[in-house]
A and B are shown apart, each in its own frame.
Chain A
C-alpha cells in the first residue's frame, strides 16, 4: 500500500477489488440477459401500428450482455463503495444509522410493493392504514396537530412547509416578503425560500452559536413570513431560547419553521410542537432509518399546527364511517400537489417498520446517539479545536485550526480517515466554522467502533504534526487517488460515447 500504512491503522485491512470498465464497453451484439415469455396474442407490425415517422428500430448503443456479466459488473462496482454495512459513517447532519433489513423485506411484500396508486380506495385499505399509523406515530413524536406524508424528500418538505406558511399569510391578506435564515443553515433552506417566492434574510449566530434574540427582535417585522430554524443547529447545539424565539415571531404574526434534519437528537426527549414550532419537516432517511441508497430516495413529511392544516397538499387522508379510510382530493384551501400520487410510499413503509421495532424505546436510540457524540467530543477535545463549547447533542463540530498551522486542512484529515477504514465526517460545514469537522456518529455505533474512530483521529492529528505530507496526499489505499474535480467541471464528460461517436465529435 505504497508504504503509508502505519501500525496505528487498526480497522482497515487490505481489500482486493477488481477492475471493471463501463457496461457499454463489455457489450457485444446478440448477447442478452433477460428473456420474455412468448407473445400470446397476434403480433402487430410496429411500423404499421405506429406509422413510419414514429417507428424506432432500436436504441442505438444500448448494452448487450449476459446475466452473469451483469451480476459481476454491478457486484464489482459495489465493492468500490463504502457503506454503513461496512462501518461507521460519521457524516454530520446526515444521520447515517443502521438500515434494518426487515424494512426492506416488508416494503417488497406482495400486496405492498404491487399496489397501484389509482386502484379503488376500498381495495387499498391496507396501504391507507399504513399511512394513517405512520401519521399518528409521527404526530406523537413531534407533538404537532396535522401532517402530510406527500413530500418526496427533505428539500421538498421545506418547500411544502413554506407554501403552507405562504397560504396562511395570504389568507390573512398578505403573503409577506421575507424568510429569515440563520447563517449556520443548510443550503437547501435559502434555495427553497426563493422557490416559495420569498427573499432570504440571513441572521447571524452569536458567539455561542445560538440565535441572537436581541438582533432577532429587530429583524422580525410585519414583512417577515417565517424563520427557518434547524434545531439542534448544525453545530449540534440545542437552541435553548426556542420558546422565546417563537414568541418574538408570533408577536409579529410570523411563524416558526423547524428544519427537522437533526430530529435524531430529540425523538422521545422533547417535542417541537411544545417548543412553539408551527411547522417542520422530518427526513425519514435520517431519523427514521430508511436507506440512503447512494443519495435517495428519501421522504420529507411535514408536520404542522392546526392553523396550517387547511392548506395541506392534496390528497389528504381522512376517516370515513365504519372505520374506512379514504383520500380526500377536494379541499378548497389546499396549496395543491407537490408531487404525483400519495408520496414515496415504499419509503414510508420502511419508516413505519423502524418505528414499530422501537416503539417508545425510540428514546433509547436518541440517548445513545447523544452519548456517542459526547464520547467522541470528550475523546478528541484538545486534539482538535472546539470552536463552540456549549453542550453537544447528537453531533459535535471541531475545526482544523490546530492542524492548519502545519498546512493540513479538514479535507485532508477527512481523506486520511479513509485510510483508517472510516468514511469521512462532513467537511467545511456549517459555514460559520472555518475548516469544520462535523461528526455525527448516530446510535448505531458500538463503543469498540467509537474507540477505533477516536484512535484514528488522534493518530491523524499526530501525523498532521509530524508528517503533514502524508495527510495532505491521502487517501493512499483507495482504488483511485484524489480525483481532478476542476478538470471534470471545466470539460464535462457526462456520458459514455462509442469510439466512432467520439472521433466524429473530434472531427
Chain B
C-alpha cells in the first residue's frame, strides 16, 4: 500500500524487536469473539488514478454547465489561485493546532492576522480564531450572551437564515434557552414595533442578520438601543461578508457572528466554511473558541500563542465556555490570504460590483409584467421578488435552459410562496443575467 512506509521484512523485524510472533498477538486484549474474522466489505483498494476517476464520474452527475442565481447563505465569488497555492503548502495543510508555539509561529501569526481582519471588517474589538460556520457561530454568540447577562429569553428575527435558527433551536432545547421569533416589516427589516413589544428584563439577546435572509440591510444602531434599554445584548449575524466592503459594519452590536465563506472558500456543497465570533474587549473572557495573542519570548522577540485557554474545554472541562475544541484554521487561513490579496481597494471594488449587478438584475426583472420586488429596504447582492406564478414552476422551466433558478422562499416562509430570493455576485455576467431574465419572462408567459 503506497501510504505505508514499511517493507514486509521490516514488519517482521519490528515484531521480533517487540517480542511477539505475529501482529495478532498485539491485539490479544480484544476478546477473541469480538475480533473480525473476515475482511471488511469495502470498495478498493484503488490506485490514485482510480480514486480520481471515481470522483470525476460523480462530478459530472452534478450541476456542471448550469448558471445559477442561488445565494441564501452560500455565495459564489471570485478567488485567486494564490489562495489555494498557499493553503496547500504542507507546512500549513499538515500542521496540528498550534499548542507548541515555538514550531507553529506561522499558523499563530496567520490567526492573529485573521483576527485583526475580522475586527476591521466587523467594527468589533476582538474576534476569535474561527468556529465551525455561520450557523454555529450565531448559536455560540447567543450562548455567550446568556452567560454575560444570566438571562434565558432570546428574541430572534424571522429574517435570520432559517437554518441558523434551526441550529439555535437544537442547542437551545436542552440548555434552558427560550427562543421567540420576531417578524419582519414591509421593508423586509425586523419589525421594530414587535421587538419593542416583546423585549423585557428577561431577554439576553436580540438576534438579527444583516444583510438579512431577504438580502435587506438592518439598522444595528437602532436595534442596539432597543436591546440595551432592556439590558439585553444585540447579536448581529452576517452571512455575506463581502457586504462589509460597501455597508457600514455593525459596530454597535455587542456580538457579531459571521460566516467567512465569501472570502475565498468554495461552496463545496455546504462546507467546510468558517464561522467567526467578534465582540467587545470587555466580553473577551466569555468568548467561545480559540484566540491567538501576541507576546514575547525569553529574549524579548515578538511571538504569538494561543491564549485565554482557561475558557476552553481542555482546561475547564464541564465549566468551559463552549465544547468546541477546533477552529476552522485552514479555512480561516484561506480567508486571510484571500482578503490580503483583495486588500482595501479590491474588497471595495468587489462589493461595488455586487451592488451594481444585483441592482441591474432587479431592474431587468421588474420590466416583466407582474414581477415586483417584495421588500423596500436597501439591499446588497440579494433581493426577494414576487412572481405572478409559482417560483417552483418558473424554476422548472428555467432548468430546461440550463439555469438553476433562485431560492424558493416559500420553502422556509409559507407566506412568501410566490417569492424568489435572487442572488447576483461579481461572478454573474451580464449575459447570464439577461438569459435568466428572458427565461423568467418566457416561463411566466407560458405558465398560463
Among B106, B303, B343, contact of A62 (Cβ-Cβ < 8 Å): B343
Contact present for A295 and B18 (CB under 8 Å): no
Please name all residues of chain B whose beta carbon is closer than 8 Å to the beta carbon of A240 when the two chains form the complex: 29-31
Contact present for A340 and B270 (CB under 8 Å): yes
Say if the beta carbon of A378 comes within 8 Å of chain B: yes
Say if the beta carbon of A390 comes within 8 Å of chain B: yes
Contact present for B94 and A341 (CB under 8 Å): no
A430–B353 Cα distance when bound, in Å, is 53
**Known contacts A291-B94, A295-B329; A356/B272 CB under 8 A:** no
Say if the beta carbon of A467 comes within 8 Å of chain B: no
Which 4 pairs of residues, A with B, have the shortest CB-CB distance? A359-B44, A111-B59, A293-B330, A341-B270
B67 to chain A, nearest CB (A): 11
A439–B361 Cα distance when bound, in Å, is 59
Count A-B contacts at CB 8 Å. Answer: 672
Say if the beta carbon of A252 comes within 8 Å of chain B: no
A460 to chain B, nearest CB (A): 15
Contact present for A271 and B36 (CB under 8 Å): yes
Say if the beta carbon of A171 comes within 8 Å of chain B: no
**Known contacts A60-B120, A362-B42; A371/B15 CB under 8 A:** yes
Besides A113-B268, A444-B4, A480-B102, 7 other A-B contacts (C-beta < 8 A): A44-B356, A46-B355, A50-B217, A54-B378, A116-B267, A359-B43, A479-B105
**Known contacts A109-B59, A337-B166; A62/B352 CB under 8 A:** no
A59–B295 Cα distance when bound, in Å, is 26
Closest-by-CB residue of A relative to B271 is A344
Contact present for A83 and B95 (CB under 8 Å): yes
**Known contacts A56-B249, A67-B341, A163-B170; A297/B331 CB under 8 A:** yes
Say if the beta carbon of B26 comes within 8 Å of chain A: yes
Among B63, B96, B356, contact of A96 (Cβ-Cβ < 8 Å): B96
Say if the beta carbon of A10 comes within 8 Å of chain B: no
Q: A120-128, A216-224, A302-310, A398-406: which one contacts chain B?
A: A120-128
A78–B93 Cα distance when bound, in Å, is 10
Contact present for A117 and B305 (CB under 8 Å): no
Contact present for A483 and B356 (CB under 8 Å): no
Among A23, A74, A102, A166, contact of B86 (Cβ-Cβ < 8 Å): A74
Contact present for B102 and A341 (CB under 8 Å): no
Closest-by-CB residue of A relative to B396 is A120
Q: B150-158, B192-200, B315-323: which one contacts chain A?
A: B315-323
**Known contacts A41-B430, A124-B63, A424-B100; A115/B268 CB under 8 A:** yes
Please name all residues of chain B whose beta carbon is closer than 8 Å to the beta carbon of A489 when the two chains form the complex: 293, 307-310
What string of 1s and 0s marks CB contacts (under 8 Å) between B281-309 and chain A?
00010000011111111110101110111
Interface residues of A in 35-64 (CB under 8 A from B): 35-36, 39-44, 46, 49-51, 53-64
Please name all residues of chain B whose beta carbon is closer than 8 Å to the beta carbon of A495 when the two chains form the complex: 112, 115-116, 119, 125-127
Interface residues of B in 392-419 (CB under 8 A from A): 395, 399, 404, 407
Please name all residues of chain A whose beta carbon is closer than 8 Å to the beta carbon of B304 when the two chains form the complex: 483
**Known contacts A59-B347, A81-B107, A111-B60; A296/B378 CB under 8 A:** no
Please name all residues of chain B whose beta carbon is closer than 8 Å to the beta carbon of A190 when the two chains form the complex: 313, 317-318
What string of 1s and 0s marks CB contacts (under 8 Å) between B46-85 and chain A?
1010111011111111111010101011101010101011
Please name all residues of chain B whose beta carbon is closer than 8 Å to the beta carbon of A237 when the two chains form the complex: 29
A142 to chain B, nearest CB (A): 10
**Known contacts A269-B30, A480-B101; A297/B271 CB under 8 A:** yes
Interface residues on A, range: 35 or more
Say if the beta carbon of A195 comes within 8 Å of chain B: yes
Say if the beta carbon of A182 comes within 8 Å of chain B: no
Please name all residues of chain A whose beta carbon is closer than 8 Å to the beta carbon of B185 when the two chains form the complex: none
Contact present for B345 and A32 (CB under 8 Å): yes
Please name all residues of chain A whose beta carbon is closer than 8 Å to the beta carbon of B366 when the two chains form the complex: none
Contact present for B100 and A357 (CB under 8 Å): no
What string of 1s and 0s marks CB contacts (under 8 Å) between B129-147 and chain A?
1101111100000000000
A426–B175 Cα distance when bound, in Å, is 32
B296 to chain A, nearest CB (A): 6
Closest-by-CB residue of A relative to B134 is A340
Interface residues of B in 1-57 (CB under 8 A from A): 1-6, 10-11, 13-15, 17-20, 23, 26-31, 34-36, 39-46, 48, 50-52, 54-57
Say if the beta carbon of A148 comes within 8 Å of chain B: no
Among A104, A126, A137, A186, contact of B42 (Cβ-Cβ < 8 Å): A137
What string of 1s and 0s marks CB contacts (under 8 Å) between A231-271 and chain B?
00000011010010000000000000000000000001111
Contact present for B94 and A391 (CB under 8 Å): no
A344–B301 Cα distance when bound, in Å, is 38
A109–B107 Cα distance when bound, in Å, is 26
**Known contacts A89-B96, A291-B93, A423-B100; A36/B136 CB under 8 A:** no
Which of B104, B133, B324 lies at the interface centre, i.e. has the most chain A CB atoms within 10 A of its CB?
B324
What string of 1s and 0s marks CB contacts (under 8 Å) between A4-27 and chain B?
000000000000000010111001
Contact present for B315 and A187 (CB under 8 Å): yes
Among B54, B134, B170, B328, contact of A338 (Cβ-Cβ < 8 Å): B170
**Known contacts A83-B93, A140-B42, A294-B97; A112/B55 CB under 8 A:** yes
Say if the beta carbon of B225 comes within 8 Å of chain A: no
Say if the beta carbon of A506 comes within 8 Å of chain B: no
What string of 1s and 0s marks CB contacts (under 8 Å) between A344-367 and chain B?
111101000101111111111101
A100–B45 Cα distance when bound, in Å, is 14
Say if the beta carbon of B159 comes within 8 Å of chain A: no
A24–B164 Cα distance when bound, in Å, is 33
**Known contacts A337-B163, A368-B4, A483-B305; A488/B343 CB under 8 A:** no
Please name all residues of chain A whose beta carbon is closer than 8 Å to the beta carbon of B19 when the two chains form the complex: 378
- 10 A-B interface contacts by CB (under 8 A): A22-B113, A46-B355, A119-B404, A155-B323, A159-B323, A291-B93, A295-B327, A359-B42, A371-B11, A479-B303
Among B18, B88, B337, contact of A374 (Cβ-Cβ < 8 Å): B18
A15–B43 Cα distance when bound, in Å, is 43
Say if the beta carbon of B110 comes within 8 Å of chain A: yes
Among B5, B94, B121, B248, contact of A99 (Cβ-Cβ < 8 Å): B94
Contact present for B96 and A341 (CB under 8 Å): no
Please name all residues of chain A whose beta carbon is closer than 8 Å to the beta carbon of B127 when the two chains form the complex: 494-495
Among B17, B70, B324, contact of A118 (Cβ-Cβ < 8 Å): B70
